[in-house]
Structure 1
């Protein structure tokens, strides 16, 4: 970021916080009235773009969070299978026996132990498993893979064919 002045360098740092350019401009010291315009102007500068790219790459290297890793985690959620939590007889396996993929897909576990009235005060356990939103994960994967774009292209072809038939 050697080519940037102090305010621009601060803008780059602040932009990486939440990827909100207007808020980054305000936090970097630009006027609230002109922050949106300043943000747009800053993002259009090649030096700012290069600094942002370098900072994002450095953060990825530092945190070991890459695009591939994020997509893999989304895939774990979207392609999860709850059957792996149960034995062949249908009883719940201890979490230590679950696959890493299933463990990642579980949002919460609720265990409720109760004692039934009776001669021996028999205990039973109710366990609830809640998984992360599978549909949301699959939707993110579809967007990443461009499946919606292909669907839109197919719709466009149908519209064009209809237009040709109408002529």
Structure 2
């Protein structure tokens, strides 16, 4: 059977380019990206899989993601800096000396942009006495530290693996021949 000609230098089709554009919007769902690009819902999964094996599409997706990251100024440094800021959040930044909450306009930006939730309810009690219920949902500090620890430059959780790089190709070939002989039942 004749081998299919290489598409390495062939330009992407309009629908393949659309797939790349859609993929970077939601990389977690390749099939939906294919549907959004114009593939039939019946064949979208097949074409998404086919597209992801195409080196030209992989390269184009990498280019688009790189352009997006530059445009948004997102980098590994940015992510690590944000994680460190979250780790350094101190509740004293948002509390008054009496233990009440400062007005939100006086909170540091990291608090205003990072909290998972806030619930402030004022209730009138008897004799016109007001009571305030305040709940603040902090970011998950343990998860945050885990993400910092997984950062490429920190490697806090990376398992150590020692590799002997002095093994030659000849050594590996000899070991492979020995294993083959053992599997075949000795010298033959």
* Aligned residue among 125, 130, 137 for 1:123: 130
* Aligned residue among 154, 158, 174 for 1:149: 158
* Aligned residue among 2, 8, 16 for 2:24: 16
Cα deviation digits, residues 88-128 of structure 1 (max 9, x gap): 3423222222222222332232222223324xx22232222
Q: CA 1:40 to 1:71, structure 2 compared with 1: closer, same or farther past 3 Å?
A: farther
Q: Distance in 2 between matches of 1:33 and 1:112?
A: 50
Q: Distance in 2 between matches of 1:53 and 1:149?
A: 26
Residue in 2 that maps onto 1:135: 142
Q: Distance in 2 between matches of 1:122 and 1:31?
A: 64
Unmatched tracts of structure 1, length 5 or more: 157-167
Q: Which structure has the larger Rg over C-alpha atoms?
A: 2
SS at the partner of 2:97? Answer: coil
Q: Distance in 1 between matches of 2:102 and 2:30?
A: 47
- Alignment of structure 1 residues 51-66 onto 2, 5 Å: 51-66=60-75
The CA RMSD over aligned residues, in Å, is 3.0
SS at the partner of 1:110? Answer: strand
Q: Distance in 2 between matches of 1:114 and 1:81?
A: 28
Unmatched tracts of structure 2, length 5 or more: 1-9, 163-188
Residue in 2 that maps onto 1:84: 93
Higher helix share: 1
* Aligned residue among 37, 55, 58 for 1:46: 55
Cα deviation digits, residues 48-85 of structure 1 (max 9, x gap): 22211221122223334444333333333344222221
Q: CA 1:72 to 1:23, structure 2 compared with 1: closer, same or farther past 3 Å?
A: same
- How many residues get paired? 150
Contact preservation (8 Å) 1:12, 1:48:
yes
Residue in 2 that maps onto 1:165: none
Residue in 2 that maps onto 1:164: none
The TM-score normalised by the length of structure 2 is 0.62
1:29 Cα deviation from its structure 2 partner: 4.6
SS at the partner of 1:14? Answer: helix
